[in-house]
Structure 1
Amino acid sequence: SSKFHWEQIKKREMHTTPEKFFIEACDEGADAVLAIDRVSNEMTLTGKKDVPPSAVTRPICGIMGTIRLVAGMYLIVITRKRNVGSLLGHAVWKAVDFDVISYKKTVLHLSEIQSQENKTFLAMINNVLTTDGFYFCTDYDLTHTLQRLANTSPDFQEMSLLERADQRFVWNGNLLRELAAQPEVTHKFALPVIHGFIAMKPCRINGKIFEWILISRRSCFRAGVRYYVRGIDSEGHAANFVETEQIVLYEGTKASFVQTRGSMPFYWSQRPNLKYKPKPIISKTTNHMDGFQRHFDSQLLIYGKQTILNLVNQKGSEKPLEQAFAKMVTGMNNGMLNYIAFDFHKECSHMRWDRLQVLVDAVAETQDEYVYFMVNSEGKTVAQQKGVFRSNCMDCLDRTNVIQSLLARRSLQTQLQRMGVLNVGQRIEEQAEFEKIYKNAWADNANACAVQYAGTGALKTDFTRTGKRTRWGLMMDGWNSMIRYYKNNFSDGFRQDSIDLFLGNFAVDESDGPTPLRVQKDWKFLTLPIIMLVAFSMCIVCLLMAGDTWTETLAYVMFWGAASAITATIILFNGQDFVDAPKLVHKEKMD
């Protein structure tokens, strides 16, 4: 593993002069240097000898890409990385810190308003970069599953990492557009970065040491935040789509089991409106089957057969969604699609979490048919995964993760027995040391996916971590739900805009025209909350400073109480006007 050690000590250098950025290549001993002209934005390849001695030098870990904002072009570099582990001999890194560097030396050419807008856009870029979960590898393709990589052609191996990456999972694809336009530059400097979660753990059972890995790849198509991005777009991309792969490596044998999660794939929305749970609305104007068909056509092509596990409630506001989903699967009439509805909350009510075994048993036969991917120590493929479980609840977070961890454990049980790590009759649940690693990694996976979509950690992780639902866990869920409520209503518009800017769904225009950030809020946005607060305060004041007679006090309290109640009702009724809504992408595209 000398190569691995070399990776750890090696840093790439970036040299800056007032005219140019010079960035060294990541290959050891390579002389290539990427020169970026800060005035013409041109990128060229030169050698180390061309770097002027006056240049200011700093270490960087890689290029995230470039983006145009109001003030001009910006270069985004990774400044700090942390080693997560080694996958088949390749070091895997988590990008920990970034720097966004302006090509222009000053912003004096901007007006006051433009300068303000530029600051907002910079804050948006940093908002995405500070969301935990960016990973990269300099010499291995993290965007593909082991099975996809095993079934590639020699031509594929010749391509650069960026060219051969699965575009669904390249989160800096838009930022690398300038670099990708020049193939000779791409090979050495453009690294695909994925967003999601990776855990790599050396484990021991029966004295046998194996590597257990969990990788979640978030799709950058129809990406966004919980309430603003639901369902699918016209291309058939589902919101919050995540591919999760569990890998086991033992003495040259490798195995992998893949599952997916994604929003219910038809046109529905659930806009925040100050209510704790906004009512989901199924679109009446669009033809759902087109997008639905597109979604599953591509899923069947990539993953083979699909078993859909729909975990939403089968009563209340979630019921119509479950019925619509079931109806569309029937309408597609495809033998490769299998639909199972399991009312998670009803089945597991009153802490009866053992009921989840009912679902695992119900799909056991299907799981044995899909199996997993496995290559033995001689390099021979002994099993291919023929289908996936596509799980969803409303957010595809908490309920989904619980079910995925149970199905993954069942697959792992079979794999470890086949590899000879587990003896006949032994169960994973009895291996206390490994079970702890397993449960915690799946709970960390739940948290990462939840923070990236809903803005807070996952709910129900006490069950994932301990196998039991606890009172403390319920309290923590309450706290997280409260924070989710606040974020979903008052800060998610900004977060949605940040993601759209980062991924290129919104591009800052070259012209000096105003950007959509200048939309002024309606008068009632400020007036009504102030009236409500004043009325409520007056109500309290009248209670504390009683009048001459009780009737007088009561009259005042009733008047101010009624005023605050009426304004509160008006605010709730017009909830959508008071939440923080996205400004950058037109509503039609979002719905």
Structure 2
Amino acid sequence: MRSLQKNFNDPQEGWELYDTMFVWNEFLTRGVRDILKTTLWTVALVYGFFKQDKFAICGKDIMLTLIARRSRHYAGTRYLKRGVNEEGRVANDVETEQIVYENMLGPWQISSVVQNRGSIPLFWSQETSKLNLKPDIILHEKDKNYEATRLHFENLRKRYGNPIIILNLIKTLEKRPREIILRWEFDRAIKIINSGLPGEDHLRFLHWDLHKNSQSKSTNALQVLLKVAFEALNMTEFFYCQVSPDQRAKGSPNLSPTLKIGFGHHACDDKNCGNADYVDDLDDISQEDTCGSSDPGNGIAEDKFEVNGSAQIKRPKFQKGVLRTNCIDCLDRTNVAQYAYGLAALGHQLHALGSVESPEVHLDSPLSRHLMHFYERMGDTLALQYGGSAAHNKVLHSMLLYSSICQKKTIGSLFLPQYACLLK
């Protein structure tokens, strides 16, 4: 119902837990709760996805959990629910949280990172047809000032803080304009909204045609998405907390008052953390090293320690802002991008836990494939809920296969010239 960071910073029970966009039976149980004045007899239902598994890294048992929480607002299936409503609620709005946890004898450690997906926040629709597999996109001119779009991003800012990073994956080249119509309108909406916002609240808009680049032989699409993911992660960071044995014994997992940092738009005191950063297209990203390993970046602060009794406790890290990803259905292409962000975050999460020496992530590692299975299962589940059929996992599989072949070619290019010299 609530993210790990939200629970640690602001622990709540009872009535408050039902006051959330992710509890689907809030209305049905309201009468019972009002009469009994308690929540003991009701169960809050969350619709989405959950998967948890244990794996070993360097002899340490790590628990990986992936949770997807689907919003109950403006809910419905594909083609019947598209875009945004007057209240700023979008279709297929899903919050994804990736949690990494290590159970130790001493202070235990836990980390989480949250990302979001949702339909393009404009008034648009599609007419279903048995004869047309790709129905035309109809853009409705009922909100010329983009007030509903503005409300949507204000809601995201209240939930996650700044910066709000938008990764738009829809097509830029089409013989018959469909997706590109939304691309133009979304581009215009963000520019108009940003023009009326202070610099620290500006939306960061990134556009990249995943379909075009995934078919290009000169572009390793997944590697480029990883670069974008690392940049986004450096801006939003992630949640990390270490809890001392004393806190565990008291049964109080929430942070002490001295370590609390507010969650939401006050989470970051740095006035520059939300500066405008508008990128119309990511095709200018250098492809020189897309066959190599991912650069984890160095924008995330190093660990610091506080003394709590006789134990040294690492200072907590907090996520500020969120990465919001969309395509047309917010299913297949969005799932690939969310996997890339999850993989980038996983390296940093394991590094914060002390399980690995470097946050660097390799696409051909067993850990990468293990995480891929998590996101594939989540993608299938969300696709069944919204679209009625499983996701096209071949997209993610083909990208990983290309990455592996690309790396083998890079290694081969280092040795082939040496053998060529011997043959002369």
Same fold (TM over 0.5): yes
Deviation sequence 1:17-54 (CA, Å, 0-9, x none): xxxxxxxxxxxxxxxxxxxxxxxxxxxxxxxxxxxxxx
Deviation sequence 1:99-129 (CA, Å, 0-9, x none): xxxxxxxxxxxxxxxxxxxxxxxxxxxxxxx
What is the CA–CA distance in structure 2 between the aligned matches of 1:445 and 1:465, rounded to whole Å?
18
Report the Cα offset of residue 429 of structure 1.
4.2
Question: Which residue number in structure 1 is paired with residue 375 of structure 2?
Answer: 442
* 3-state SS, counterpart of residue 255 of structure 1: strand
Report the Cα offset of residue 377 of structure 1.
3.4
Question: Which residue number in structure 2 is paired with residue 385 of structure 1?
Answer: 319
- Is residue 97–residue 115 contact of structure 2 (8 Å, CA) maintained in 1? yes
Matched, 1:325 2:186: yes
Matched, 1:355 2:221: yes
What is the CA–CA distance in structure 2 between the aligned matches of 1:174 and 1:215, rounded to whole Å?
23
What is the CA–CA distance in structure 1 between the aligned matches of 2:59 and 2:399, rounded to whole Å?
24
Question: Which residue number in structure 2 is paired with residue 561 of structure 1?
Answer: none
Deviation sequence 1:329-352 (CA, Å, 0-9, x none): 110114431001111111111577
- Is residue 436–residue 465 contact of structure 1 (8 Å, CA) maintained in 2? no
Matched, 1:253 2:112: no
What is the CA–CA distance in structure 2 between the aligned matches of 1:329 and 1:150, rounded to whole Å?
33
Question: Which residue number in structure 2 is paired with residue 213 of structure 1?
Answer: 65
- Is residue 229–residue 344 contact of structure 2 (8 Å, CA) maintained in 1? no
What is the CA–CA distance in structure 2 between the aligned matches of 1:196 and 1:469, rounded to whole Å?
31
Aligned with residue 223 of structure 1, among 67, 75, 79: 75
- Is residue 144–residue 165 contact of structure 1 (8 Å, CA) maintained in 2? no
What is the CA–CA distance in structure 2 between the aligned matches of 1:426 and 1:285, rounded to whole Å?
47
- Is residue 342–residue 359 contact of structure 1 (8 Å, CA) maintained in 2? no
What is the CA–CA distance in structure 2 between the aligned matches of 1:355 and 1:202, rounded to whole Å?
29
Aligned with residue 123 of structure 2, among 255, 264, 267: 267
Question: Which residue number in structure 1 is paired with residue 333 of structure 2?
Answer: 399
Question: Which residue number in structure 2 is paired with residue 458 of structure 1?
Answer: 391
Report the Cα offset of residue 439 of structure 1.
1.3
Question: Which residue number in structure 2 is paired with residue 294 of structure 1?
Answer: 151
- Is residue 440–residue 464 contact of structure 1 (8 Å, CA) maintained in 2? no
* 3-state SS, counterpart of residue 159 of structure 2: helix
Distance verdict in 2 for CA 1:398–1:351, change over 3 Å: farther
Question: Which residue number in structure 2 is paired with residue 240 of structure 1?
Answer: 92
- Is residue 348–residue 359 contact of structure 2 (8 Å, CA) maintained in 1? no
Which stretch shifts more, 393-402 or 437-446? 437-446
Report the Cα offset of residue 208 of structure 1.
0.7
Distance verdict in 2 for CA 1:363–1:445, change over 3 Å: closer
Q: Which runs of no fewer than 5 residues in structure 1 stay unpaired?
A: 1-142, 471-591
Deviation sequence 1:58-84 (CA, Å, 0-9, x none): xxxxxxxxxxxxxxxxxxxxxxxxxxx
Distance verdict in 2 for CA 1:438–1:356, change over 3 Å: closer
Question: Which residue number in structure 2 is paired with residue 468 of structure 1?
Answer: 401
Deviation sequence 1:517-571 (CA, Å, 0-9, x none): xxxxxxxxxxxxxxxxxxxxxxxxxxxxxxxxxxxxxxxxxxxxxxxxxxxxxxx
Q: 1:457-496 to 2 correspondence within 5 Å?
A: 457-461=390-394, 463=396, 467-468=400-401
2:29 counterpart letter in structure 1: L
* 3-state SS, counterpart of residue 182 of structure 1: helix
1:410 counterpart letter in structure 2: A
Question: Which residue number in structure 2 is paired with residue 309 of structure 1?
Answer: 167
Q: Percent identity?
A: 31
Distance verdict in 2 for CA 1:415–1:465, change over 3 Å: farther
Question: Which residue number in structure 1 is paired with residue 29 of structure 2?
Answer: 176
- Is residue 240–residue 262 contact of structure 1 (8 Å, CA) maintained in 2? yes
Whose helix fraction is larger, Structure 1's or Structure 2's? Answer: 1
Report the Cα offset of residue 353 of structure 1.
7.0
1:282 counterpart letter in structure 2: L
What is the CA–CA distance in structure 2 between the aligned matches of 1:469 and 1:448, rounded to whole Å?
25
When normalised by structure 2's length, the TM-score is 0.71
Q: 1:523-542 to 2 correspondence within 5 Å?
A: none
Matched, 1:188 2:44: no
Which stretch shifts more, 341-350 or 359-368? 359-368
- Is residue 312–residue 318 contact of structure 1 (8 Å, CA) maintained in 2? yes
Question: Which residue number in structure 2 is paired with residue 204 of structure 1?
Answer: 56
Distance verdict in 2 for CA 1:281–1:300, change over 3 Å: same
For the pair shown, the structure with the greater C-alpha radius of gyration is: 1
Matched, 1:152 2:10: yes
What is the CA–CA distance in structure 2 between the aligned matches of 1:324 and 1:221, rounded to whole Å?
24
Distance verdict in 2 for CA 1:344–1:233, change over 3 Å: same
- Is residue 309–residue 391 contact of structure 1 (8 Å, CA) maintained in 2? yes
Distance verdict in 2 for CA 1:311–1:170, change over 3 Å: same
Deviation sequence 1:199-221 (CA, Å, 0-9, x none): 11111111111111000000010
What is the CA–CA distance in structure 2 between the aligned matches of 1:359 and 1:317, rounded to whole Å?
24
Deviation sequence 1:381-406 (CA, Å, 0-9, x none): 52110111100000000000001011
Report the Cα offset of residue 437 of structure 1.
2.8
Distance verdict in 2 for CA 1:289–1:344, change over 3 Å: same
2:150 counterpart letter in structure 1: Q
Q: 1:519-558 to 2 correspondence within 5 Å?
A: none
Report the Cα offset of residue 453 of structure 1.
0.2
* 3-state SS, counterpart of residue 167 of structure 1: coil
Q: Which runs of no fewer than 5 residues in structure 2 stay unpaired?
A: 245-254, 260-314, 404-424
Report the Cα offset of residue 280 of structure 1.
0.7
* 3-state SS, counterpart of residue 26 of structure 2: coil
What is the CA–CA distance in structure 2 between the aligned matches of 1:408 and 1:465, rounded to whole Å?
18
Distance verdict in 2 for CA 1:199–1:342, change over 3 Å: same
- Is residue 70–residue 93 contact of structure 2 (8 Å, CA) maintained in 1? yes
1:218 counterpart letter in structure 2: R
Distance verdict in 2 for CA 1:428–1:213, change over 3 Å: farther
Distance verdict in 2 for CA 1:392–1:288, change over 3 Å: farther
Matched, 1:280 2:137: yes
Distance verdict in 2 for CA 1:469–1:447, change over 3 Å: farther
2:60 counterpart letter in structure 1: K
What is the CA–CA distance in structure 1 between the aligned matches of 2:327 and 2:26, rounded to whole Å?
29
What is the CA–CA distance in structure 2 between the aligned matches of 1:273 and 1:211, rounded to whole Å?
45
When normalised by structure 1's length, the TM-score is 0.52
Aligned residues: 321
Question: Which residue number in structure 2 is paired with residue 582 of structure 1?
Answer: none
Which structure carries more relative contact order (alpha carbon 8 Å, separation 6+)? 2
- Is residue 139–residue 182 contact of structure 2 (8 Å, CA) maintained in 1? yes
Aligned with residue 209 of structure 2, among 319, 343, 349: 343
Distance verdict in 2 for CA 1:280–1:231, change over 3 Å: same
- Is residue 23–residue 44 contact of structure 2 (8 Å, CA) maintained in 1? yes
- Is residue 344–residue 361 contact of structure 2 (8 Å, CA) maintained in 1? no
Report the Cα offset of residue 182 of structure 1.
1.8
1:341 counterpart letter in structure 2: H
Distance verdict in 2 for CA 1:393–1:462, change over 3 Å: closer
Report the Cα offset of residue 466 of structure 1.
8.1
Kindly report structure 1 stretches of 4+ aligned residues shifted beyond 4 Å. 350-353, 428-431
Report the Cα offset of residue 148 of structure 1.
0.9
What is the CA–CA distance in structure 1 between the aligned matches of 2:395 and 2:235, rounded to whole Å?
31
Deviation sequence 1:488-541 (CA, Å, 0-9, x none): xxxxxxxxxxxxxxxxxxxxxxxxxxxxxxxxxxxxxxxxxxxxxxxxxxxxxx
